[in-house]
Amino acid sequence: MKKICKRCLLQEYDEQEYREKLGRLLELMEESEKAQEAVYQQRLECCKECEKLVTGTCLVCGCYVELRAAAKSGRCPNHAW
């Protein structure tokens, strides 16, 4: 039986298809719309500590946290960042 990850990001999830799809979506974002890399990583660290993160998805709003965190205009629905 495969273990279900409760506190990880899709980039860490051991499913190649999800990582590839996420990578393609991030690549398609306009550079002018992306948060700086340091901001992006800081946001992800905050999300990883949140009890509302389940397999890369925010249970508050349903978004994929890596996509929301990558957007310059992205905001945490719990106001953590």
Instruction: Name the token pair of 74.
Output: 């992205």
pLDDT, position 56? 87
| Residue 64 clears pLDDT 80, i.e. is over it | yes
pLDDT, position 19? 80
Q: Are strands 53-54 and 57-58 parallel, antiparallel or unpaired?
A: antiparallel
φ, ψ of residue 47 in degrees (nearest 5)? -65, -40
pLDDT, position 22? 87
Alpha-carbon gap, residue 29 to 58, rounded angstroms:
20
Question: Are the CB atoms for 57 and 63 separated by under 8 Å?
Answer: yes
Write the burial class of residue 71 (CB in 10 Å: 0-12 exposed, 13-18 middle, 19+ buried).
middle
